[in-house]
Amino acid sequence: MTANKVHVLSCGAMSCDLTWLLLKAGRTMRTRTEQQRPPEWYSCTTHCVLVETPGGTLLWDTSCPRDWETRWAPTGLQEYFPYDQVSDEEYLDARLGQLGVQPQDIDYLVLSHLHFDHAGNIGMFTGTGAKLVCHEKEKEFAFGFDGAFNGAHLKADYAACDFDTVSGDTEILPGVTLIEAPGHTPGTMAMKVELPETGTMLFTSDAVYMGDSYGPPATPAAIVNDLTAWYGSVEKIRGIAEQSDATVVFGHDAEQLRSMRLAPSGFYA
């Protein structure tokens, strides 16, 4: 069985110093002769994915919230990752509306992980009957630390949520498999979708930020929970992608996102 359709919802971009995403000599790290050269600021695009299947509709991630500046203030990270490249029609609620989708139409809301730029709009789905899903290890970590936040995990985003958890690689709906890909966070997941015409699409979320991170060779980022696990997950994803001849869609790759068929007009079947 395959899924029916994939809609890629482009939700604008945060701005950030590229060094956060890519620790790469010659690109972000400077030589002694370049000490005065300013860091490269990057358009850190964010997207969600709506998957229609014979068994129900799934939304993958929820992007950033409209009130990011105040909500993220306790973490201080709003100064490093301002969500300031977004227009009114690009917020998640607007994107769903353009497709004629209401929050109550979502059967499964799956979070690749619980960082604030992925979990920022979970609140739109409370009380709608959507089944909330994340990885077992992600839930354990996200609820397990003391205080209001830990890095980009912000309890205000998800504290009220009752998650169903998965572990291992799990086919959650026909043609949709959640892939365990820890390293970025303890419970980061990727999502594999099999489609009748397009074939396999593999959405990496933050297991792989961008094409330059994927390589080969894989190039890590400044924010990694477990570097050894991260390298292992990139190679796991590469293996699955090669085996299934998949289109690999990275978590925050501005150039790649621009080249894709985007909702509301474009989709993959």
Q: By C-beta, is 51 or 181 nearer to Zn ion?
A: 181
The region, left, alpha or beta by phi > 0 then psi within -120 to 50, assigned to residue 103 is alpha
Tokens coding 217: 């060779």
Q: Which residues bind Zn ion (CB under 5 A)?
A: 115, 206
Question: How far is Cα 176 from Cα 169, in angstroms, rounded to an integer?
Answer: 10
* Cβ at position 115, least distance to Zn ion in Å: 3
* Cβ at position 133, least distance to Zn ion in Å: 17
CA 150, distance to chain mean position in Å, is 18
Q: By C-beta, is 193 or 207 nearer to Zn ion?
A: 207
Tokens coding 118: 């992925």
Long-range contacts of 123-130, Cβ-Cβ distance < 8 Å, separation of 24 or more = 123/65, 123/157, 123/160, 124/62, 124/92, 124/93, 125/59, 125/62, 126/160, 126/161, 128/103, 128/104, 129/104, 130/59, 130/103, 130/104, 130/106
First to last CA, the chain: 13
Q: By C-beta, is 195 or 207 nearer to Zn ion?
A: 207
Q: By C-beta, is 157 or 206 nearer to Zn ion?
A: 206
Question: How far is Cα 75 from Cα 203, in angstroms, rounded to an integer?
Answer: 27
* Cβ at position 21, least distance to Zn ion in Å: 10
Tokens coding 236: 């796991």
Cis bond before residue 38 (omega within 30° of 0): no
Q: By C-beta, is 114 or 202 nearer to Zn ion?
A: 114
* Cβ at position 184, least distance to Zn ion in Å: 6
Number of H helices, E strands in the chain: 7, 13
Residues 6+ apart with CB under 8 A from 150: none
Q: By C-beta, is 99 or 254 nearer to Zn ion?
A: 254
Q: By C-beta, is 194 or 206 nearer to Zn ion?
A: 206
